[in-house]
Each structure stands twice: as C-alpha cells, then as structure tokens.
Amino acid sequence: MKNPFRSDTWNHFSKIAYGFSTVDDCCSDSQKEDMSSFMLEFDGVGEPVLLQQIHSNIVLNVNESFNTKALMKADGFITNLPDLILTIKTADCVPVLIYDPANNVIGAVHSGWRGTKDQITSNAISLMNKTYGTIVENVEVIMGPAIKSCCYEIQDDVVSLFNHYPDSVVLRNGSTYLEQKKAIRYDLENLGVYKITDIDFCTGCRPDLLCSWRKQKTEKRLYSSIMLRS
Ligand SMILES: [Zn+2]
C-alpha cells in the first residue's frame, strides 16, 4: 500500500480522517467493493458508504434513516454522523472532499465534466447550509487527483459548456483540452469559498501512482474518502 494523498493544509483537523487512494489501493468499477487496505486509514472503525455514481449533480444527506448499503444513485453526499467513510470512486473525474469545521459536517463529490458544469460541489455546500447551517466562510475543500489539461482532450460539444470559465478551455496544437478544476474553483469562489486545496497530480500522466480511464481504458477506480471521527 502506498500512502494516500493528503494535504498539509488539512493537517490541523483532528476530528476527521480522509485520503485519496493511489492505484495500489484502487478497485474495479464493476467489482464488489474491497476497501480492506485503504480502510486502515480510517481508524479501523468506519463503515464505507458508496454511491451508484451517474454523472448527475444530485447530492444526498446521509442521516440516521439513510440506507448505507443501498448504493443510492447520486454523485455526492454529506453528513454530520461519525464513523461513516463517505467514498467516491474516480479515474479522471475530480473527487472533491468538503469540510465545515465549525459545524463538523463533511461531504464528498464526484465531479466529472457533467457534474462540474452542473455545479455539484456548490450543490453539496448549499445542502450543508440548508441541513446543518454551514456558512461558506468556514468551508474547506480539497480537489483530489484528476485528469488535467495536459491529457484531457475534449470536443466542441463540451467546449461550448466551459467557454465561459476563465482558463478552463486550453487550445494546443489545433486541439482543445479541459482543465476541470479551474471551473470548479471558479464556481466555488463565486459562492464565497476560498479555502481550496488542489492535489495537483494528473491521472493521465502518473500511471505509477494513479489510474486513468481515458489514457488506459481501465476498469480501475481510485477511492477518495472522508470520515468524521466519533
Ligand atoms: Zn496529464
């Protein structure tokens, strides 16, 4: 097991555990979940909660009545309950972890180009506000490893959806590329969220550490997880 990706900017948060897995701790998209080695990063007490990810902008609140085994169709979830390992699976899309340390509320989001243009991370923060009183000034966000504009070629249909985001569409040698995280950051800053950390590794460039659906046509998926400690 390689150490998961974390950031020094979140080192002072003692009430959460989180991490972005490397390819050594990944899973298959179709396979039954096996988080056994990655789970060790979560105090050995947490219960993994996953979604059936559908490239939507749907965000769910995980409360006492939520069926944590049901693989609900959504692409983000939030909770204030401890010992639930909110887990997103990606292989190029942006995994986003969210923390409100004032109210001790967490969130995790799967943001590919569809979720990004439909502002799923902002939806998650709005739901945190409605459900738990989160205010944007307190929100901290980490964007995990994802495919970057060095590797992410897009066609006109996607270009037209991102042209209004500064610097997110990149022209190079007659082709067009997308920098998804620029769009996510732009929307978050518009919302008033400025504490944004980027774990700036490209899934396409680093097969030694990560996996990329676009580069490798792989079934492998990386885990991105966050848990409140009890
Ligand atoms: Zn790359």
85-137 tens-digit pLDDT: 999 999 999 999 999 999 999 999 999 999 999 999 999 999 999 999 999 99
Taking the centre of ligand 1 as the mean of its atom positions, its distance from the CA of residue 152, in whole angstroms, is: 7
CA 144 to mean position of chain CA atoms:
6
212: Cβ–Cβ under 8 A, 6 or more apart, which residues?
91, 92, 147, 151, 203, 204, 218
CA distances from 50 to 66, 110, 224 (A): 12, 11, 10
* Strand (E) or helix (H) holding 37: helix 36-39
pTM: 0.96
How far away, in angstroms, is 228 Cα from ligand 1 center?
32
- What are the tens digits of pLDDT across the range 24-67? 877 776 655 666 677 777 877 889 999 999 999 999 999 999 99
Q: What is the pLDDT of residue 32?
A: 59
Per-residue pLDDT at 176: 98
Going along the chain from its start, the domains and CATH numbers come out as: 8-149+194-228 (3.60.140.10)
Query: Residue 56 Cα, ligand 1 centroid: separation in angstroms?
Result: 25
Q: What is the DSSP string of 148-203?
A: -TTT-B--HHHHHHHTTSTTTEEEETTEEEE-HHHHHHHHHHHHT--EEEE---BT
| 144's tokens | 């995990």
Interatomic CA distance for residues 82 and 217, integer angstroms: 36
Distance 173 CA to ligand 1 centre (A): 16
Amino acid (one-letter) located at 112: G
Q: Kindly give the pairing relationship between strand 140-143 and strand 195-198.
A: parallel
Spacing, Cα 215 to ligand 1 middle (Å): 9
Cα–Cα distance for residue pair 164/53, rounded to 1 Å:
26
Q: How far is the CA of 200 from the centre of ligand 1 (A)?
A: 10
Tracing tokens 């693989």 back to the chain, one arrives at 71
pLDDT of res. 1: 60
Q: Where do we find the tokens 């085994």?
A: 69
> Quick one: tokens of 38?
């990655």
Using the mean position of ligand 1's atoms as its centre, give its distance from the Cα of residue 208 in Å: 13
- Do residues 125 and 190 lie in contact, with contact meaning Cβ atoms separated by under 8 Å? no
Distance 201 CA to ligand 1 centre (A): 8
Comparing 29 with 205, the larger pLDDT belongs to 205
The rounded Å distance from CA 62 to ligand 1 centre is: 34
The answer for residues whose C-beta is within 8 angstroms of residue 154's C-beta and 6 or more apart is 113, 162, 169, 176, 177, 178
> What 3-state DSSP class applies to 11?
coil
Tokens of 137: 């000034």
Distance CA 31, CA 27 (A): 7
What is the distance in A from the centroid of ligand 1 to the CA of 20? Answer: 18
Confidence class for position 220, pLDDT limits 50, 70, 90: confident
Q: For residue 127, what are its two tokens?
A: 């739901």
Which of 205, 67, 72, 80 has its CA nearest to residue 131?
Answer: 80
What digits encode the pLDDT tens for the residues 133-173?
A: 999 999 999 999 999 999 999 999 999 999 999 999 999 99
Residue 185 Cα to ligand 1 middle (Å): 19
144 C-alpha to ligand 1 centroid (Å): 14
Amino acid 31: pLDDT: 58
